[in-house]
Chains A and B, each alone.
Chain A
Amino acid sequence: MENILQAIGIENYIFLSVMLFCIGAFGVLYRRNAIIMFMSIEIMLNAVNLLLVAFSTLHQDAEGQVFVFFSMAVAAAEVAVGLAILVSIFRNTGSIDIDNLKNLKG
């Protein structure tokens, strides 16, 4: 079977994905700038997408790739909504520091 997995093993894809995911997760946790956090979330999402494509190729099953298309489409919509929320936060508070948003404190 002639494909890219023979050149680079599946382990490497998994490794890369996990690294990307963790980078994203830590980015979300450590940064306070909402746009950076948003970018980190996108990294996590794409880590998962990458993994899905890799496994899809491994199993010779197109379903994973189809799923990735869906998730990318949804992600695009989500980004639009998320950025709109960020713009509105900025208009209201004058910053996009996430720690300023404590109005929902119980």
Chain B
Amino acid sequence: MEKNIALVLVLAPFFGFLFNVFFGKKAGKTLVGLVGTASVLVSFLSTLFFFSALNANPSQPVVVDLFQWISLEKFNVNFSFLLDQLSVLWLLFVTGIGTLIHLYSISYMHDDENMNKFFAYLNLFVFFMIMLVMGSNLVILFIGWEGVGLCSYLLIGFWYKNQDYNDAAKKAFIMNRIGDLGLLVGLFIVAYVFGSLDYKVISEGAYNTQLVSNNSGLIALAALCLFIGATGKSAQIPLYTWLPDAMAGPTPVSALIHAATMVTAGIFMVTRMHFLFDLAPQILDLIAIVGAATAVLAASIGLVQNDIKKVLAYSTVSQLGLMFLALGLGAYEIAVFHVITHAFFKACLFLGSGSVIHALHGEQDMRNMGGLRKVMPITFWTMMISTLAISGIFPLSGFWSKDEILLTAFHSNIPLWIVGSIASIMTAFYMFRLMYLTFFGEFRGTEEQKHHLHESPALITFPLIVLAILAAVGGLISLPGNSWLNHYLAPLFRKAHEAHHLDATAYALMAVATVGALIGIGIAYSKYIKKQEVPVQDAEMKGFASVLYHKYYVDEAYDVVVVTPLKKLSHFFRNYFEVAFSETVFAFGKIANAIGTQGKVLQNGSVGFYLLAFVIGMASILVYLFLV
């Protein structure tokens, strides 16, 4: 029973993928959208079943053993799924938000000639994401990990006729591959140290003090390698540059893959392997520092971007940084909390921006927007709620999760708290900058665009409304003092993480965070509402703003440090080694050719000659055998 439902949960999106690949063109757009959405909805409903089963019996996670996959003498990998608190929670929002975004895509992608391909990729992505989350060992996680990377690549380059988009897709794929190598090496080390890749076995090994003290160096190395894998997938320094470029994909993709689900895979993996990271406090410190640095770096770049999706992309990187900050401080459930609230409000923001782009027929530059508040009220209000949530305004979801992270940081490391708070203030500023430039003031686009402005159809606004509600009330799952989430995740962690008590410090920090957010909003208000400023054209930018606008020239730096030397090296190999090797190989060919030219004289076609040669040969053999 449970096994069958688990199989339905995994295979429904895969079925949707197969259907859309093989019959999508014939089936017509309505059926494609319907099957694509329904398959994810089926997964969501199956997840609900497991969720209720798990709530009834928290200490009994469901394990579904399918078959033994790799069987060696001392090393086994089972193809099995584990449905415990963490994976069910992840599945809930992956399939739940996935369903909403599929629904949204039916309308958003309706005019695209390759709609069936789009839904096929999206279904395939959900399938791999479920594999990633549900696997009971790191190998299955790795399958999903690579699979979602592939789907991300396919969807970023979905409009493959634009070469820039193809380049962005390749960049995402290559950056992810660098991280994946780290993950793979981490897997090997874990397998070497613990003799298994099964979460249960590893966690038991991690509490075996003998084993741990003998291998502490290797365990730290494994944690580092796994973290490198996470930096690739979850866009942290130094591998974050692919995520803003990934906005080349259609907007639903940005919402689903590059904001709500796939990029949180790194956080999922770290939380999953928390017992390993707990053994390597120095790596946890590194994670916290990288997270905080990413949060503030990406937020500062987001301050001056003019592409509506780029702002949201940098915002995503920044929020992921905050989650890693929480992970690095050992507050895994808080990171999970922020993952969930972030999934709500960021998906809503992306879908809202998609609605805006849709209304403006592909315009993404905020300098050409403005005044959309009256034309698109639903989009405006849903985005406004999400913006307030991400800025950390009481009592919306982002306030609670961000506040928990900052509170944790404050208790363990003041500098990290300061960095995190600065990132939060910046977040409030650039999000309201986005809102003011897009929805307030006068419309700055062309007359023709103004003529066509419209609110999006119900299929687009419905997911927005649902997500906005979730973004508003999502914080309820983990209120300080009485946290349902902490209680729910408790069986996962051996040492219980107590929710922060509501003491004076907590209230003071909440006040500080709120004031910080209000300051950010205030600056944005005075710049873009009072003074009616519009960001200057690219060429007129100067000073630090220009540096920010060009993303600290990180791409250029990578180009100089990595890409150019690599190209030089390959040119060197092509011009010298390649020539040397191929000349050597050609020389053998030439020798054979020369021998052949001489030898073909013997092949003169006269049968008499052949016979003579044959007889002489035989005679000489006889002479040799008997007379010599």
Chain A bound to chain B: yes
Chain A contact residues, CB within 8 Å of chain B = 25, 28-29, 32, 98-99, 101-106
B residues 593-620 touching A (CB-CB < 8 Å): 600-608, 611-612, 615
Interface of A is mostly: loop
- Mark B569-606 against chain A: 1 for CB-CB distance below 8 A, else 0: 00000000000000000000000000000001111111
On whether the beta carbons of B605 and A102 are closer than 8 Å, the reply is yes
List A contacts of B608 (CB < 8 A): 29, 32, 98-99
Chain A residues near B604 (CB-CB < 8 A)? 102, 105-106
Cα–Cα, bound, A98→B611 (Å): 11
Asked whether A98 lies within 8 Å of B615 as measured between CB atoms, the reply is: no
Who on chain A is nearest to B605 by CB? A105
Whole-angstrom distance from the CB of B94 to the nearest CB of chain A? Answer: 71
Report the bound CA distance from A30 to B612 in whole Å. 9
Interface residues of B (CB under 8 A from A): 600-608, 611-612, 615
**Which residues of A lie under 8 Å from residue B605 when comparing CB positions?**
101-106
Question: Can you report 16 A-B residue pairs in the complex whose CB atoms are below 8 A from each other?
Answer: A28-B611, A28-B615, A29-B612, A29-B615, A32-B608, A99-B607, A101-B605, A101-B607, A102-B604, A102-B606, A105-B603, A105-B604, A105-B605, A106-B602, A106-B603, A106-B604
| B611 touching A106, Cβ below 8 Å | no
Q: A29-B612, A29-B615 are in contact. Are A98 and B607 (CB under 8 A)?
A: yes
Q: Is the CB–CB distance between B611 and A29 below 8 Å?
A: yes
Given contacts A104-B605, A105-B604, 11 further A-B contacts (CB under 8 A): A28-B611, A28-B615, A29-B611, A98-B607, A99-B607, A101-B607, A102-B604, A102-B605, A104-B603, A106-B601, A106-B602
- Nearest-neighbor residue (CB-CB) of B599 within chain A: A106
> Chain B residues with Cβ under 8 A from A98's Cβ?
607-608
Across the interface, which residues of B come within 8 angstroms of A103, CB to CB?
Answer: 605
Which residues of chain A are within 8 angstroms of B615 by Cβ–Cβ distance? Answer: 25, 28-29
Most chain-B Cβ atoms within 10 A of its Cβ — which of A32, A101, A102, A106? A106
Q: Which residue of A lies closest to B612 (CB)?
A: A29
Which residues from chain A contact B603 at a C-beta distance below 8 Å? 104-106
Residues of A within 8 A of B606 (CB): 99, 102
Contacts of A106 in B (CB 8 A): 600-605
Q: Give the residue name and chain of the B residue nearest to A102 (CB).
A: B605
User: Which B residues are CB-close (under 8 A) to A104?
Assistant: 603, 605
Could you tell me the distance between the alpha carbons of A28 and B615 in the complex, rounded to whole angstroms?
Answer: 10
A25 to B608: give the CA distance in the assembly, Å.
Answer: 12
Complex-state Cα separation, A29 to B611, whole angstroms: 7
- Chain A nearest Cβ from B605, distance in angstroms: 3
Alpha-carbon gap, A98 to B600, bound state (A): 20
User: Which 8 A-B residue pairs are closest in the complex by CB-CB distance?
Assistant: A106-B603, A105-B605, A102-B605, A106-B600, A98-B607, A104-B605, A28-B611, A25-B615
> Please, how many angstroms separate the alpha-carbon atoms of A25 and B614 in the complex?
11
Report B-chain residues with C-beta under 8 Å of the C-beta of A25: 615
- Give A98 to B602 CA distance when docked, in angstroms: 17
Closest Cβ of chain A: how far from B528's Cβ, in Å?
87
Q: Residues of B contacting A102 with CB < 8 Å?
A: 604-606
- Please measure, in the bound complex, the distance between the C-alpha atom of A103 and the C-alpha atom of B603, giving whole angstroms: 11
Query: Which A residue's beta carbon lies closest to that of B603?
Result: A106
Closest residue of chain B to A104, judged by CB?
B605
* Nearest CB on B from A27, distance (A): 11
Shortest beta-carbon distance, A9 to chain B, in Å?
A: 21
| Residue on A nearest B602 in the bound complex, by CB | A106
Give the Cβ gap from B601 to chain A, nearest Cβ, in Å.
Answer: 7
Residues of B within 8 A of A32 (CB): 608
Residue of B nearest to A31 (CB): B608
Min CB gap A39→B, angstroms: 14
A residues within 8 A CB of B612? 29
Q: Cα distance A98–B607 when bound, in Å?
A: 7
CB-nearest residue of chain B to A41: B611
Nearest-CB residue, chain A, relative to B607: A98
Q: How far is the CA of A101 from the CA of B601 in the complex (A)?
A: 17
Complex Cα spacing A29 to B614, Å: 10
A77 to B604: give the CA distance in the assembly, Å.
30
CB distance from A55 to the nearest CB of B (A): 16
A99 and B612 alpha carbons, distance in the complex (Å): 13
In whole Å, how far is A104's beta carbon from the nearest beta carbon of chain B?
A: 5
The closest CB in chain A to the CB of B604 belongs to A105
CA distance A28 to B608 in the complex (A): 8
Return B189 CB to nearest CB of chain A, in Å: 62
The distance from the CB of B609 to the nearest CB of chain A, in whole angstroms, is: 10
CA distance A25 to B603 in the complex (A): 21
The answer for the CA separation of A105 and B607 in the assembled complex, in Å, is: 10
Report the bound CA distance from A28 to B603 in whole Å: 19
A99 cross-chain contacts in B, Cβ below 8 A: 606-608
B280 to chain A, nearest CB (A): 73
Which chain B residues border A105 with CB–CB below 8 Å? Answer: 603-605
CA distance A27 to B448 in the complex (A): 102
A70–B170 Cα gap in the complex (Å)?
A: 71
Q: In the complex, what's the smallest C-beta–C-beta distance from B618 to chain A, in angstroms?
A: 9
CA distance A36 to B615 in the complex (A): 17
Complex: A103 Cα to B604 Cα, angstroms: 9
When C-beta atoms are compared, the residue in chain B nearest to A32 turns out to be B608
What is the minimal beta-carbon distance from A23 to any residue of chain B, in angstroms?
Answer: 13
Alpha-carbon distance A106/B601, docked complex (angstroms):
7
CA distance A99 to B608 in the complex (A): 7
Nearest chain A CB to B606's CB is how many angstroms away? 6
Q: How far is the CA of A10 from the CA of B603 in the complex (A)?
A: 42
CB distance from A52 to the nearest CB of B (A): 17
CB nearest to B600 among chain A residues: A106
Look across to chain B and name the residue whose beta carbon is closest to the beta carbon of A30. Answer: B608
Give chain A nearest CB distance to B625 CB in angstroms: 16
Query: Closest chain B residue to A105 by CB distance?
Result: B605
Q: How far is the CB of A43 from chain B (nearest CB, A)?
A: 14
Write the nearest CB–CB distance from A85 to chain B, whole angstroms: 12
CA distance in complex: A67, B611 (Å): 26
